[in-house]
């Protein structure tokens, strides 16, 4: 069964966007996943095709109407292939749980996703609750809409689908994938051996596999300790657990 993605958006032309030029784009053309973008405005019922309204209680901006968004959700979920589990509705919002590799893996292992992209101040809370949407953020910053966040989530999921990654185990070895504890990756080098007076570390040219592995492990640990004390603390706690 192909992994199916549907984006609900006011800007369907933003899909597949930059994804079309990457590994995910090739996988899309190869039929390893599918992508539809539905125009939310098509589900408005008044003659002005209104999708938003002023916030109750006052304040700046506009809120997307629950009835219009609900109708778009219903359309996306109608006609799911026979016998297939319903896809989760994922609403991209800075109020959501942070996207991480575990969530990408979870979503990639399911039937697909319906991605709800908000504009303006976002969705009316009632449709988020009524549709049991999973709220997901891609970072502690505010984008002008959910679309770039949705593309990012798709990229993270699609590269995990069977047959998408080029190298056999490259998806496994990378940062955050190591089930023993997420560390940042070690630095990479290629030829020439000396470039602008900078030499490739000797150990990488030594041919000693064990020494290379040890050096990479140390580099990964040092980078994580220095750059991401939050990840380092989690890693250290997990190491401690497994020793008990
Ligand atoms: N929409 C606006 N900002 C966002 C963010 N940081 N993550 C997900 N969706 C968003």
Q: Do domains 3-158 and 174-243 have the same CATH topology?
A: no
Token pair for 16: 């597949």
Q: For the segment 86-135, what is each residue's pLDDT rounded down to a tens digit?
A: 999 999 999 999 999 999 999 999 999 999 999 879 999 999 999 999 99
The closest-lying atom of ligand 1 relative to the alpha carbon of residue 92 is: 9
- Distance (angstroms) between ligand 1 centre and the Cα of 235 equals 27
Neighbours of 214 (CB within 10 A): 12
Strands (E), 59-138: 63-64, 89-98, 112-117, 134-137
The predicted pLDDT at position 180 comes to: 45
pLDDT of 173 over the 90 cut: no
CA-wise closest residue to 142 among 98, 93, 91: 93
Residue nearest to atom 7 of ligand 1 (CA): 137
Structure tokens at 200: 């490739």
Nearest CA to 120 among 64, 58, 172? Answer: 64
Q: What pTM was computed for the model?
A: 0.92
The ipTM (two decimal places) reads 0.98
> Which residue has the least CA distance to atom 10 on ligand 1?
93
In the chain, where the domains are located: 3-158, 174-243
What is the CATH T-level fold of the domain 3-158, as seen in this structure?
A: Alpha/beta knot (3.40.1280)
The arithmetic mean of pLDDT across residues 19-33, rounded, is: 95
pLDDT band at 168 (very low <50, low <70, confident <90, very high): very low
Asked if residue 139 belongs to a known ligand binding site, the reply is yes
Q: Candidates 61, 90, 93: which one to mutate for ligand 1, based on the most atoms within 8 Å of Cβ?
A: 93
Q: Tell me, which fold does domain 174-243 have in CATH? A: 1.10.1270
């Amino acid at each position: 069964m192909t992994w199916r993605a549907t984006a609900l958006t006011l800007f369907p032309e933003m899909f597949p966007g930059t994804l079309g030029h990457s590994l995910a784009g090739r996988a899309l053309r190869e039929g390893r996943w599918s992508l539809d973008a539905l125009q939310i405005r098509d589900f408005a019922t008044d003659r002005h095709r209104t999708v938003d309204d002023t916030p109750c209680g006052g304040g700046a901006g506009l809120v997307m109407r629950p009835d219009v968004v609900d109708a778009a959700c219903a359309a996306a979920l109608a006609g799911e292939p026979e016998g297939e589990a319903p896809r989760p509705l994922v609403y991209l919002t800075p109020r959501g749980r942070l996207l991480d590799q575990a969530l990408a893996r979870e979503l990639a292992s399911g039937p697909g996703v319906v991605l709800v992209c908000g504009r303006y101040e976002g969705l009316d809370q009632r449709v988020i609750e009524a549709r049991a949407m999973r709220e997901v953020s891609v970072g502690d910053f505010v984008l002008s809409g959910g679309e770039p966040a949705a593309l990012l989530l798709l990229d993270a999921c699609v590269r995990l689908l069977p047959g998408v990654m080029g190298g056999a185990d490259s998806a496994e070895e990378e940062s955050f994938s190591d089930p023993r504890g997420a560390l940042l990756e070690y630095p990479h080098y290629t030829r020439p051996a000396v470039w602008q007076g900078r030499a490739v570390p000797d150990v990488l040219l030594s041919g000693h596999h064990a020494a290379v592995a040890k050096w990479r492990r140390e580099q990964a640990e040092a980078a994580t300790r220095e750059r991401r004390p939050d990840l380092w603390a989690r890693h250290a706690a997990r190491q401690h657990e497994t020793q008990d």
